[in-house]
Structures are given as C-alpha cells and as structure tokens.
Amino acid sequence: MKRKDGEPVDSTIDATYQRVARALAEVEVTPEKQAHWYEQFLWALRHGAIPAGRITSNAGALEHKPATSTINCIVSGTIRDSMDNILERVHEAGLTLKAGCVAPGTLVYTDQGLVTADRAVTEKHARILSYDRDTGRFEWCSIEQHLTTQVPRSENIEIISNGASLKTSIKHPVLVSRNDRLRYVRADEVREDDALVHYQLPWQADKDRALDAWFAGAHLGDGSAYEKKQTYKLNRRAWAARAKTKGARFVFKIRAAEREVVERYAAFLRGFCGSKAQVIATQTANGTSVWDYTVASFDASKAVELIDGQTGKKSRTLSVPAWVAQQPEKYFLPFLAGLIDTDGTVDTERGSMILATQCGVFAQSIKALLGLFGVYAALTQRKPRCHDYRGHVIRDSGGYMLKISDSDFLQEVAGYMADTGKRRRIVQHAARAGQYDRYVMSTALRSALQEEVDALSHAERQRLGFYHQYHRARVVSRIWLDRWQQRFPHLFKLIAFVRTLRPVDAVNRQLDLPETFFDFTVEKHNNYLAGNQGLMVIHNCGIGYEYSTLRPRGAYVSGAGAYTSGPLSFMDIYDKMCFTVSSAGGRRGAQMATFDVGHPDVMDFIRAKRKTGACASSICRC
C-alpha cells in the first residue's frame, strides 16, 4: 500500500502488523487496555494469524484512504435466467464495489420509523424499507450490517428531485429510470433527463390516536402549558405530601375564536385526566369574542409528553413532537389538522391554506414532512408590521408563512379538523389540485394511452389532454394521471409505476458536510430508501449473487438454437469484473457466490476454486 506521493505506507511486513494491531486495539476505552490488546494482536499476527484483506488493507490507514471501511459487507442478489439480467447484474456489481453511503442527517425508513441514517446505524435497527425492481413494490427487508465510512468533501454530492434531497458519495449507485429501464448509475452520472424512483407516504392516519395527534398540533398552535407552583401552609402538610407524591401540577390553556376547536381540546383533556373544567366565552382586550379553556391537574401533566415537554414560552422554539415526526404516516395528518384549526387560515377564493408561525425551524420541519407525502408547500418570511383594529394598534412581530395549495391533500386533512368553517371552505373552494406535482412518463404508458384515442369522444379527448398531447409529454402533472386512472382503470399498474418516477431538478457538488457517512447492507433487494423532504431508492454496499437460478451446463436454449455453457462460465465474468474494479480503499474487489446444493452443476461449483486462477475474486458457498 502506498501514499498518494508513491511512498509505501508500511516499509516492512512487521510495520503492517503494527499498524493493524494498533488500529484493532484502539476500540478499547482505556490506554492500559489498548496497550494490552496491541501486544496480543501483534503477537498473533507475527505468529501466523491472517486477517481479512479489508482489515490488512484499511485498518489504521484512514489518513491515506478516507473512503474505506474495515467491515466486510456482502448482500446476495438473484440473477434471472436471461442474458439481459446477467449483464445488468454485472454492471450493478461493478458500481457497488465502489464506496457508497449517505450523509449524516439523511432520513431512512426503518422499523423504528423515520429516522436519520446515523441513528439507525448507531442503534442497529433491524429492518429498512426497500424497493423490489421486479414487482415495483416497496417492502421491508432485514438490515444485515450497519456501516460507517469516510467521504472527503471533494467526493460528496447532492441530487435534488421533486424538491427532495439525497446527499451521498459521487460513487454510490442510485436507481434511475433511463430510456425506460430501471438501472443503477453512479451518483455523479445522474443526468437531467433521468427520473429517480421515489416513495410517497399514503395520505392516511391511525384513527386510534388521531385525537392525541390533533391535540398536540392544536396545543402547539394556540395552547400554552406551564407548571403551577404551590406553597402550602404549615397546617396543610398532608396536602403538601400528597402533591409531592403526584409530581408536577401543570396548567393547560387554550384560547381560540372557534368554539368547536376549544371544545375538542377540552374533550381531549376530560378523557385524558377526567377534568371537569368548562369552556367559557370571553373577549380579548380589543373586543374580539373568543372562547377560553383552562385546567390545572396533576394527571393532566402527563399530556406534556405528547408535546415533547414544550411548555412555557414556545412561540419561537417550536418543534414537531418526535413521536409524530418518526411515524408521519400514522400521526402527521391529524397533527397538521390541529395546527390549521388554531394557526391556519383558508382562502375563500382557491381553498389554499396558510399556516402562520414565528419559528422558522418549525415551519421548515412541516414543509419537509409534507414533502414525504408528495405535497409541495411554499415558505415565506413575513416582515414585522402593525395595523389599526377598532382603535387599537395591533403589532405583528413578523414570522413565517407556509402555504399549501394542494386541495386534494387538504381535503384529506380536513377530515381530522374540528373547525367546520375552515373545513367547509377547503371543500367548497377547492382548486384544481396537482398542477405542480410532476412525474416522468414511461413509454409503456404513452403507448397504452395512444391505443385508447380512437375510442374516445371529442369531449373526452379534450378533458383527458389528448388534444394538447399531454399523453406524449416527458413530464406530466398529477392532474392528468388522476384523470387517466379514473377513465382507464385497466392502466392502473402503468400509472402507479409512473407515480414513483420524479424528474431531476439539480445536482450540487462539494457540499460543506461532515466526512463520516453511513450505509447498510440490506437483504434481498440490495437497496433502501433515503433522502430529506422525500425518499429515493439508493443501492446498498457489498455484492454477492445466487447463481443456481441459471440453467445447468448443456441445457438447450431455444432462442439461440444452442446449448448453454452453465452457471460457472458466467461466474467467470463476475470474477474478472471484481478483479478489475478496485473496491473502496484500492483493494481488489470481492464477491459472494452462492449455489443451491440441488442444482445439477453443484459439484462443478464446489470444485471451482481448486483450479488455479478460477474464481479468484469469489467467496463460494453452497
């Protein structure tokens, strides 16, 4: 191994032993243990212990090879018995041998919910959402290994697609649709005419906890909570002791112009802690009629957990509760409904909704969560201002405004709202939804739609966009997909596939990011979903393939009018590719080759490595 200037990193084999032993011992927490295990590892290496090639090459060499790992990561895929798939898998394997990972803070969907990749690696989550290219379905798959690696600033990249961001290494394979074929390409080879495969959260919620989520949203909108301190007199010692055993006593308050909102807030706390407080009518200092509700209770303090302890002054320091952000497909819609009920306004002309808040981070979090549902929201900052209202000067300290114009989505959210007035305006003034929601068309859908033209009336061709050639466009809005799906239900699968394809907006290089990146090895499909403000399909690291799916040696191939040479001959192609392409850190590549013991060529597979030079880059297992 050499440095960039050509000088050897290790001058002797014993220097290599010392480097490896020192790196292995550094995981110990005390200098004494590090020194002890350094001597133990060094003795073992000097007396014949042979570590894996990745250990010998990369351990202790981070300074010279930052994009390396000492963890072997192999995930076995299946090769279909066709020449196209055999060669496609060779291309995939070559890409995968390069370094791959996602940046810290990148979201992934694991069995613990929507979390950062760094957290999923640290906590070793068990499963992750993956994509089956053959069926077009998103499935849960087991995580085989949790990995970290180093990516220098010169090798990081950001791909933006439909407003979603994916930060990774320039060498990491990303799944794209190019020329109507799904294929993996290096991140730095993604083109503007490619389409990335996205996953969109369904517009639904867990009805069993919808009220909890609504309460959290409504409280963070117009509610307040604080601990009530009580000093007891000496003759009330029994009361003081009882209060001490019950813990903190919190006051929950809300004030809103709509009685329905305050009544639902009160109903939640009645059911939550048995409160008997009532909603009362009152007026603000400016004479505006409002409704108030206040409750002070030891039991009500448990509701603090639903708002992540955000008590006291909170207008500029709001955050989406972690339990909502981690499971948005269950809780975000009713949470957003609570926010709209208290801090939202609905336009009577187009049915759009504007959410006002003084916390920019909170507004950005809501915008990012909306992106996971495929919903675009415009975020603007409002300047401080003042105006006269009934002789009173109303001062506005400014803040942020988040506008949602997708009427279809808002109508789903409206089902969880308490304010019937806003709910009615969303429905009655709904505009044509989806015009800014863009998808990349497939040739298969174009052809299928073209075949339907002759059977359509003039009015139908007009309504379905055929006269304007929308069915032949490269990028279409959701409006047309919705109309085509309604008119041609038999094209559901083709349309559903197009709904996963999003255009590339931009590619950015050399971002100011930490150099420690994260990755996984994932069973079965060899990929996972990652991104911010949206989730895209990215390949995992490590390669390996199941070869016994290929027909045995001597089997007749009717399409070619010849006899096949068998799986072992195709293994040679993969083996030579692994030998040619260096993996992360400059090592020779390696792959895992597996074989079913019931295959007629299993004995040839077992004997494969006995031949000098055969399958030199492959680890063969039955």
44-91 pLDDT per residue, tens:
989 888 776 667 777 877 666 654 556 554 444 566 667 666 666 655
Better-scored residue on pLDDT, 168 or 272 = 168
Q: What is the pLDDT of residue 587?
A: 44
The token duo for 382 is 């409002």
Res 100: pLDDT: 56
CA–centroid distance for 394 within its chain:
42
More confident residue, 26 or 397: 26
Over residues 554-573, the mean pLDDT reads: 77
Look at residue 595 and tell me whether its pLDDT is greater than 50. yes
Q: Higher model confidence: residue 286 or residue 610?
A: 286
Looking from the CA of 487 toward its CB, the CA atoms found within 13 Å total: 21
pTM reported for the whole predicted model:
0.74
Average pLDDT over residues 415-435: 91
> How does residue 144 score in pLDDT terms, banded at 50, 70 and 90?
confident
Mean pLDDT lowest among 148-152, 446-450, 481-485: 148-152
Mean pLDDT of 295-316: 82
Residue 531's Cβ-count burial label (10 Å; 0-12, 13-18, 19+) is buried
Residues in the chain, overall count: 622
pLDDT in tens, 155-164: 899 999 999 9
Asked whether the predicted pLDDT for residue 505 surpasses 70, the reply is yes
SS3 string, 469-513, reads: CHHHCCEEEHHHHHHHHHHCHHHHHHHHHHCCEEEEEEEEECCCC
Q: Which of 98-102, 399-403, 468-472 has the lowest mean pLDDT?
A: 98-102
Evaluate if residue 98 carries a pLDDT over 50.
no
Q: Which residues is 164 bridged to in the sheet?
A: 161
Highest mean pLDDT among 91-95, 364-368, 384-388, 435-439: 364-368
What average pLDDT does the segment 381-398 reach? Answer: 73
CATH of 207-428 given 3.10.28.10, 3.30.2130.10, 3.40.50.740, 3.40.50.720: 3.10.28.10
In this structure, of 88-102, 139-153, 396-410, 496-510, the range with the lowest mean pLDDT score is 88-102
Among 229-233, 378-382, 484-488, the minimum mean pLDDT is found in 229-233
pLDDT for 120 equals: 95
Give the pLDDT confidence score for residue 251 in this predicted structure.
87
* Position 545 confidence tier, pLDDT thresholds 50, 70, 90: low
Q: What pLDDT band is residue 102 in, cutting at 50, 70 and 90? A: very high
Q: What is the mean pLDDT of the chain?
A: 84
Distance, CA of 507 to CA of 524 (rounded, Å) = 29
Mean pLDDT value across residues 131-153: 89
Helices and strands (H, E) in the chain, number of each type? 19, 31
| Per-residue confidence (pLDDT) for residue 586, from 0 to 100 | 44
Question: What CATH number has the domain spanning 109-200+503-539?
Answer: 2.170.16.10
Residue 558 pLDDT exceeds 80: no
- The H or E element spanning position 140 is strand 137-150
Domain edges within the chain? 1-61, 66-97+542-622, 109-200+503-539, 207-428, 438-499
pLDDT at 583 over 80: no
CB atoms within 10 A of CB 48: 6
Q: Which of 107, 191, 199 is nearest to 530 (CA)?
A: 107
Least confident of 230-244, 261-275, 484-498, 587-601: 230-244
pLDDT for residue 240 is more than 70: no
Tens of pLDDT, residues 194-239: 999 999 999 999 999 999 999 999 999 999 998 876 666 666 766 5
Q: Give the span between the Cα atoms of 393 and 36, in whole angstroms.
A: 74
3-state secondary structure of 13: helix
Q: What is the pLDDT of residues 242-288, one digit of tens each?
A: 656 666 778 899 999 999 999 999 999 999 888 888 999 998 877 88
Per-residue pLDDT at 617: 47
Beta-carbon contacts of residue 472 (< 8 Å; ≥ 6 apart): 441, 446, 450
> Tell me, what's the pLDDT at 560?
65
- Going by the DSSP 8-state scheme, the letter that residue 102 receives in this structure is B
